[in-house]
Amino acid sequence: MRAVREELGPEGRVRIDANGAWNVDEAERAVHALAEFDLEYIEQPCAAVEELAELRERIAYLDIAIAADESVRKADDPLRVARAGAADLLVIKAQPLGGVHAALDIVAQAGLPAVVSSALDTSIGLSMGVALAAALPELDYDCGLGTASLFLADVTASPLVARGGALPLERPRPSAAELDRVAADADRRDWWLDRLRRCYAALELTRG
């Protein structure tokens, strides 16, 4: 963290993501140790909503924001973390939350600032994140959507790569050649098709 802060200088906005790995005591200790580096926020320091709420109370005097990611994305009730006052902001990913409209609904109901992030999607998926970010009435935090550059290949000939820190609001088209180049083998394709069928059936059930 010290090296990152030195590299970015005082202007750099630094975030850390613990992926829920700490218990409350460990998280509190980490927050104290990291306080000098002036973090923009700490993402999912603990796994449970109750732990986040307790941590947030314990470190309230430090003025370090807590972001919830897994508590939104992997929870049966994505709004519980907001209702419990357990986070200062939410990390929002369009795909796992059911798409742009569902994600917009969650942000509106939560009443908390949102960071729109990718789940390491192709440029097609990233463009959904950009659409979500553009549709939010307020966007106080930088998005985490500049991940196309982490991929060696994409499914489009014109990947959604950030320039000057900004992504264009456009809908890239998949290209047959690129799709061929990254095609899965037959077993893997069948596995995905089977998974899609199971998910679709589950969604039908939920909709009643």
Tell me which residues touch Mg ion (CB under 5 A): 17, 43, 69
Of the pair 28, 43, the CB lying nearest Mg ion is at 43
Length of the chain: 208
36 Cβ neighbours under 8 A, 6+ residues apart: none
Give residue number: closest CB to Mg ion.
69
Of the pair 68, 100, the CB lying nearest Mg ion is at 68
**Least distance in Å: CB of 71 to Mg ion?**
10
CB 14 within 8 A of CB 1: yes
Of the pair 69, 154, the CB lying nearest Mg ion is at 69
Coil, strand or helix at 132: helix
Of the pair 150, 153, the CB lying nearest Mg ion is at 150
Of the pair 73, 131, the CB lying nearest Mg ion is at 73
Q: Report which secondary-structure segment, H or E, holds 114.
A: strand 114-116
**Least distance in Å: CB of 15 to Mg ion?**
9
CB 71 within 8 A of CB 81: yes
Of the pair 117, 156, the CB lying nearest Mg ion is at 117
**Least distance in Å: CB of 156 to Mg ion?**
25
Q: Where are the alpha helices (DSSP H) in 46-181?
A: 49-58, 70-73, 80-83, 100-110, 123-135, 176-181
Rounded-to-integer distance, Cα 46 and Cα 70, Å: 10
146 Cβ neighbours under 8 A, 6+ residues apart: 161, 162, 165, 167
**Least distance in Å: CB of 117 to Mg ion?**
7
**Least distance in Å: CB of 147 to Mg ion?**
12
**Least distance in Å: CB of 43 to Mg ion?**
5
CB 122 within 8 A of CB 134: no
